[in-house]
Structures are given as structure tokens and as C-alpha cells.
Chain A
Amino acid sequence: MSKRKSTSTLSLLENIKATQQILRKQLCGQSLPHNMYGFEKERSHLFELVKRTATLGESNSVLLVGPRGSGKTMLLKSVLQELKSQTELSEILLEVHLNGLLQTDDRIALKEITRQLQLENTVGDKVFGSFAENLQFLLDALKRGGQETKSIVFILDEFDLFAHHKNQTLLYNLFDVSQSRQAPICVIGLTCRLDVIELLEKRVKSRFSHRQIHLLSDIKFEGYLGQFVSCLSLPDTFQDKTYRKQWNTSIQALAKEDSVRDILRKLYQKSKDLRTLHSLLVLPLCRICENHPQLEAVDLVDSSRYLTQDSKAAMLHGISVLELCLVISMKHLTELYEGEPFNFEMVYNEYRKYAQRRSSMQIFEKPVIMKAFEHLIALELVRPMDGSSSRTQKEYRLLCSLIDSTQVEDSLQTYPGCPTDIRQWAASGVVG
């Protein structure tokens, strides 16, 4: 009791630290959420499949299809976690994690499989005739080792990338093994491409079980709001109960505020993806400190302003007056010729017509203007129509502007110290 009294501020600091640690983990996608939302049916389906492989020695293959951030990996992780927590299964269930981003061809993939099954020593310097022979050897080696056959779960993340490998050897062999009764394996593919089946060759396709689990989020706004509360609340396991209660009630109060609801609704209408929600919450959470121990609506408003900033307008804000003039010239050219491509000479001509009318403007030499123009190309605000290998002179290369005329107008509003005649020029039509 006395201890608590003497270190009351410290315990606040400690509590904040602990809170940040737990919630950061969740928002950054490193730990599973303490209460999962939705996909109960899909989850039990997947759970059954993997379990049957483990217990009955049944081979299976399945594809998890869903857009990015819909929770494919999360679902799979939670299924595997639950299976592993059952001790009798954790011994006979082996996992092989492959990712299309890492294993860019089948040779690397096979090496990685060997490594993950810890069979490097068994394989040694053996030379195999074919891919299938090698894989079969690996599976047999597992059989020989233990008294009973071990089941392997192959997890292929970014499944669509494996379909681009030469002859789809890995997929063919894995599906082939899962079809024949060699060793109990379960092939789980994760992908965000709905048309992934079309990528498979005929002989691969015919060996696949065609079992697909679609994870399409149908989350309602109320559910979304619930996710907002749940991913910011502290779990029951949190040490300081009073602090936890206090924090959780503050989060619930936050969710009822109108400004917060507005922001969340806007975000929800843009994307139901929970990852965007997380990135909204990350900064406010990170900013919590002793002087600012609670999340407030203002923080969220701030953060959402960061996220919704128009990046091109932000870049336009930083270009020089000369470059701005060129952007306006390009805007006029695009309007005049209805979006047809232009080249540097035309832009220069347009600019010169303007600059000669206004004697107040500093007049630059052509090479200086060229340098400014090249800067715009480097910033990719202007795109060459043909490839970079084209042999035409750079003055006459056809280009098209990637800046919308409304974006130009918006950026002119915010441009620091924009000369009035430039603004007028931009607003006016073509200079006669």
C-alpha cells in the first residue's frame, strides 16, 4: 500500500509503457488480436482441414483468397496456434512456411523446405535426378525418423507468385503428393488474386482440390467501430486493473464522440481494411506520454489529416516559382489541345508569351528553364510518352502532364508568396 502511494507517478509511467507495448504490438500486426472478428465459419472450416491432416493423416489442399489486409495470415496463424496448443498434435505437426517474395524460384524453395524440416544433414551431398525425387526423399526421410508419420503443413504465402515459377514444378509436386497417398501433407495457399486458379497449368490445376476459402469482409460500420474500440482496449491480462478499467472506459467514451465517428466513417467509406484503421491509430498511440496520458479526439483528427494529405499537392507546394510557371504552361497546353502530349519547346513558348507580357517577372535563359523542366520530370510530375531509350532530342520529346488542373489550382491557393499575376495567368484561359 505504502509502495503504491510513494510511486504513484512512476506507476502511471509504467502503465503507459506497458499499454504502449501491448497496443503497439497489435497495431503493428505482430500479435494476434485478443478477440477476433468475423470469419467464424471460414475459421472452423480451415481448422477442420488442418486437424484432419494432423490426426487422420489425410492430405489436403486449400486456397485462402481475400484482399490485402483482410486477415488471411491472421486466420491461419490463429488456427495453427490453437492446434499447437494441443500437445498431442504439436509433436506430429510440422510447418513449412514459404513466401513468394522470398523463394523466387523452385530451387531456392526446395532448399528452404530442407532447411525448415531440418534435413540438411540427411540430404548431405546427394545428387537428385529430378525435383520430384528430391521432394520424395525429404518426405521419406521424415517417415523413417519417427515411429509414426509426421504431417506437414505447407503454407505458401503470395501463392500467385509461385505460379510464375518455371513449369510450376513446386506446385505440381506438392499437389501431386497431396493427391496420392504418399505422406500426409496439407498445402495452404494464401493469395489476394481472385483469378489465381487461371494462373495454374492444366496438369497442376487437375491435381488441386479446388477448395477455396474466400475471406471477403462484410464488416458493418458498427462492427468497424467495435474493432476500433477492441484494438485500443487493454486485455484482461493487464496487470493494473484500475488503470485498465480507466483506459478502456476512456476509449469507449472516445468512440462515442462525434468528431471521432466522423473520421472513422470517412475512413470506413474509403476502405474497410483494418490496416488503414491501424495506421490511423498508430501515431496518436505513440504520442501518449506522461503529460498526455489519454487518447483524445484531437489526436485522431491530427492523424487523419496526415493520412489524407494529397501528396502531389504537397510536392507542388515545394517547387520554385519558375517551375510553377512551367506547370501552369503545361496546364494551359493540356487544356488547349485536349490532353494531347506536348514537348519542352511548346511549354517554353507558352511560358515566354506570358513572361514577355509581364515585365515584372525575372526572365530566365532557356537552359535555366530546361533545368527546371528536367526537375519536374525527375519528380515524375511529367511523364515521357515514349521510353527513355528514345533517340529524339530532349527538347522535342513528347510528354504528358500528370497533374490535374484542379490540383494546380489548389496548390496555387496554398503556395507561399505566389505572385498575383501568376495566379491570374493560371486562372485565365490561354494567353492570346
Chain B
Amino acid sequence: MEVHTTILGILQQTRIAKIEKVKIGGDFIYLYSIWESVTDDQKMSELVCRKLQQETLLALFGEREAVTIPSIFIYGHTGTGKSYTVKNILENLQAPHVIIDCVECFTTKLLFERILGGLSRKVPSPENDYTCQIRCENMNDFARLLKQVITDIGCESETVYIILDKAERLREMDANILPAFLRLQELTGCNICVLLLSEIVWEKFRFGTGYLEPYILHFPDYTKDQILKILQLDVPSNYSEDFYGNYLSLSLSVFYTACRDLTELRHLAKLNFKKYIEPIESGEATVEDTRKLWRNIEPHLKRALQTVYLREISSSQWERMQEKHADNGDKSSLTSSGNISAMVSRSNMELPFYSKYLLIAAYIASYNPAKSDRRFFSKNCGRLSSRMKKNAKKTERTSSQLLGPKPFPLDRLMAIFYSIMEGRITPSAHIFSQISSLVTLQLLGHIQGGDLLDSPKYKCLVSFDGIKSIARTVGFDIVRYLFDFI
């Protein structure tokens, strides 16, 4: 179960199933089955709010043996039910079809073999010694074998559907793959319809001398009411629909402005419901007590937006954290959001004393122009001339906070470091080795090229908030030393 949720977490987090390391075999099938279970889960929503699209597709498909258009391109945002609608329709029609995720099949060989295997319904398994896999290396063989497979399963006259999900990945494969799939009907002479699903518009697929244009179909996003209606399908059995609907509109009021992805919203709603009903279960509130429940849940939802939504922690971690809070009954920590963000902390790393100063010096070197060093670090600095001040104010574009860190030589870093350190420090190998460990920690970046031995160049990779918190721990007022803040 733990593995399951972690993998699910990864998949949801990256939206890219990383299967490069997984070879075909047990593992591969396992990953795939997880995807299946996700989609099966969605079966509860029997094509809600997708009537028009369903009708259009059904009309285009026609009868089982009807000639169809060679290819249909379906685009729309993630979670608008593209794959689900298509899958649902084809399953209801019981038409021969195969659904391929182009992220999983990242090479042409995998892609071809999965399509052929899926159509012939032969899965490599222990019973057949994993031997039934059809070998296919190139498009030419694919077209030939596809014809053969279609004859084998007895579907010469029926329309065979090939669904390529996340079709934008096809662009990264060999140049002949995408145009060949669009023309597959002509190339094989079989009654094939290729459906491409993507969240990227068709204009971005065109390349070179152009393709046989597919029929383009748009899946519009759900309206807020439709999203509520779909989320409502998850209503737990022991609570009324109105109560759950109330909860959903509360949770949407927090998340909807930032995110309109249905899967994401659904995940968050499910996750936080337990917290919402907590006062009811403990007897502190009743089902009618909406105001009290809202006050209880609001900080939670806001925090979820900052943590679970960003996948800084996984959902199982989040649940564990919730439980811990509940056990302690620690009401004060619930209200202070700082507590959790410290726990999750994005850059909370305990560094050695000198390293902190090195990092601060690096930040100053990266974000201040070299010309201004004299002004900050020499004893008798002149005031900023009025002309210079004007220049600084003139265009914000020049603000280095917006443009990012500039590379600096090691000498400058050390000079700033010595001047901001109180007391004398002798330069030692100790300090220099800390620089290289900061590079390993990815807090400093080493700039390639140039003289590597005598004057290596670095760049500070810490954000402004990060450096402020580091400076605070050593009691250093960094803002006074930054050119942009004068």
C-alpha cells in the first residue's frame, strides 16, 4: 500500500511516469496496472457533462464497419475527460481498440510493440514464456504487421481504433512517426482510425512540409458547476449530499483560483474531508454548524495549498501530520502556519558558521555590481552620486533581483568575505574546501569555462528569502549591503 501511494504520488506530482529504468517484465506491468486502477476509479463519473463530445465522437465513429476519418486530434486541458470519454465510448461499442500512453512508450520500438500486442490481446506472461511479444523495429514492419494482426483477430472490415494519449511526445520521436500515424489508414489499407489526445494545440505539431491534417476536436474545460457536480459523485456513504456539497464549495473557494484541474481538486477534496468532519465525530459540532466547521477547516485548506498541492510532502505524510496534530490536540500550532512551513522548510539547512558567511558574501557578489563594492566595503566611501541614484531608479529591468545572479570570480568572493567577517581570519584550506562543498550542495554554481585553476567563477543559487533567513541566523543585516535596496 505504501509503495502504491508513493508511486501514485510521484505520478501525480510529475505527471510523467518515469519508467526509463523499468524494463519490460513484472515491474513494467505493475506500473501500468497502477495507471489502470486510477482510471477505473474514475468510472464512478459515468460521462457526466460530456454529452456533446460523446455525441460528436459517436457520430464520427459511425457503425462498427463504417469508414472513418483517418485521424482525430482531441485537445483540451488535463482532467477534461479526454481519455476517459474515448475509452468509455469504445468500450461500450466493443470496438477493437488499443490505448497507448506515449509517455510510457518513449521509443518507437516500445510504441509499435505495445500497439501490436494490445490489438492482438497477447500479453507477455509466465504461461507463454514472454515469447508472444511481436518484434517490430521500424514503421515499415509496423504497417505490415498491423495489417497481419488485424486479419488475425478477424477485424478486417471493422474499424480499429488506436488511441495515442499524450500525443505531444510523438513530436520528439523520429520525424516520420507522427505523419505516418496520421496516414496509417492510407499506408496500411485497413480501416484504422488514429485518435491523438493532447493538451497542446495542433498548431504546435505542424512541422516541415505538413501532414495529412486530422479532424480536430476540442474538449472544453468544465465550468465550476460541472466540477462541483463531478466531485459530488465522491460523496461518502455516511454523509448527506448537501453536507458534502457544502464542503466542496468551501474547498473550491480556496483552491479554485489557483487550480482548475479536476484530478488535483478531487485529490485535495478527498484528502481534507477527514479533517473537516473531525469536530462532528468528536461531538464538538453538528452537521448544521457550517460556520464552525468552516473556521476549523479554512487554515487547513490554506496550508494544504502550500504543501500538498505543491507536492512538498506526499499525501500520506500529510495525513500522518494531521493525525499527529489531532493526537496532541495542539490548537495553537494549527493556527500558526509558520510551524508547518518550518517543518516542511524549503531551504532549512544547518550550515557551518563560515559557510554561512561565504554564502552571504556570494549572494552579495552575485547581485551587486562590482563597481559598487567600493561603496559598501571601503572605509571612506562617498555617498551615492545623484546621477547614479537616478540610473538605479530609472529602469527596473536593470534590477539584478529580477535578472538573476551574475557570475563572480573567486577573488571577489574572498574579498567580500573578509570584509564582512568580524575579526581576522587566516585564509586556510579549510575555508576553500567549504566553497567546494557549497557547490556540491548546489548552493553555489560553478561556471564552466575560463580559467579553472587560477580564477574559477561561481554564481549564488540561493533565493532572496533563503539568504535572508541564513543571514538572520548569524545576525547579519544583508539588506544594507544590497545595491537594489538602496
Contact = CB atoms under 8 A, between A and B. Distances in A.
Interface of A: 17, 20-21, 24-25, 27-30, 68, 73, 99-104, 108, 111-112, 115, 160-161, 192-193, 275-276, 279, 282-283, 286-287, 306-307, 309, 311-312, 314-315, 317-322, 337, 343, 345-346, 349, 362, 364-368, 371-372, 378-380, 391-393, 395-396, 416-417
Nearest to B193: A28
B179 A320 contact: no
Contact of B213 (A112, A279, A393): A279
Interface stretch (B34-42, B72-80, B355-363, B371-379): B72-80
Interface stretch (B110-118, B218-226, B429-437): B218-226
A214 B202 CA distance: 29
A317 B77 CA distance: 10
B69 interface: yes
B211 to A, nearest CB: 8
Contacts of A345: 401-404
Contacts of A160: 209
Contacts of A312: 201, 203
A115 B138 CA distance: 16
Contacts of B256: 320-321
A315 B77 contact: yes
A318 B67 contact: no
Given A364-B258, A392-B404, 14 more contacts: A20-B66, A24-B68, A28-B69, A29-B186, A73-B186, A115-B144, A283-B215, A314-B218, A318-B220, A321-B257, A372-B259, A380-B201, A393-B404, A395-B463
Given A312-B201, A416-B223, A368 B70 contact: no
B221 A317 contact: yes
B306 interface: yes
Nearest to B461: A393
A101 B179 contact: yes
A30 B183 CA distance: 12
B209 A101 contact: no
B201 A29 contact: no
Interface in B422-473: 445, 461, 463, 465
Given A160-B209, A275-B213, A368 B305 contact: yes
A53 to B, nearest CB: 24
Interface stretch (B54-62, B85-93, B127-135, B322-330): B54-62
A62 to B, nearest CB: 20
A298 to B, nearest CB: 15
A311 B59 contact: no
Nearest to B403: A396
Contacts of B396: 349
16 contacts: A24-B68, A29-B70, A30-B67, A68-B212, A100-B176, A101-B183, A103-B140, A104-B140, A283-B60, A309-B218, A314-B220, A320-B258, A322-B259, A346-B397, A366-B465, A393-B404
Given A102-B187, A368-B305, A286 B62 contact: yes
Given A28-B69, A318-B80, A320-B258, A417 B306 contact: no
A311 B183 contact: no
A228 B179 CA distance: 27
Contact of A283 (B59, B75, B202): B59
B270 to A, nearest CB: 20
Chain B interface size range: 35 or more
B143 interface: yes
B203 A320 contact: no
Interface of B: 56, 59-60, 62-63, 66-70, 75-77, 80, 138-140, 143-144, 174, 176, 179-180, 183, 185-187, 199-204, 209-213, 215-218, 220-221, 223-224, 256-260, 305-306, 309-310, 312, 346, 396-397, 401-405, 445, 461, 463, 465
Contact of B176 (A101, A371, A372): A101
A419 B472 CA distance: 39
A197 B445 CA distance: 51
Nearest to A372: B258
Nearest to A322: B258
B138 A322 contact: no
Contact of A367 (B139, B310, B397, B404): B310
B77 A380 contact: no
Nearest to A111: B140
A371 B397 CA distance: 24
Give the top 3 A-B pairs by smallest Cβ distance, nearest first: A396-B404, A318-B221, A311-B201
B176 A286 contact: no
B260 A102 contact: no
B70 A318 contact: no
Contacts of B257: 320-322, 362
B467 to A, nearest CB: 14
Given A160-B209, A311-B203, A99 B187 contact: yes
Contacts of A275: 212-213
Contacts of B56: 283
A325 to B, nearest CB: 9
Contacts of B403: 343, 345, 396
Output the residue of B63, B202, B209 with the most chain A CB within 10 A.
B209
B311 to A, nearest CB: 9
Nearest to A369: B258
Contacts of B218: 306, 309, 311, 314
B261 to A, nearest CB: 8
B219 to A, nearest CB: 9
Contacts of A364: 258, 305
Contacts of A30: 67, 185
Nearest to A392: B404
Contact of A343 (B70, B402, B445): B402
A379 B80 CA distance: 14
A83 B199 CA distance: 47
Nearest to A396: B404
B360 to A, nearest CB: 18
A317 B402 contact: no
B287 to A, nearest CB: 28
A286 B257 CA distance: 39
Contacts of B211: 68
A114 to B, nearest CB: 12
B69 A282 contact: yes
A112 B143 CA distance: 11
Contacts of B259: 320, 322, 372
Contacts of B75: 311, 315
A108 B138 contact: yes
Contact of B404 (A320, A380, A395): A395
Contact of A282 (B60, B138, B224): B60
Contacts of A99: 187
A21 B66 contact: yes
B143 A102 contact: yes
A82 B257 CA distance: 64
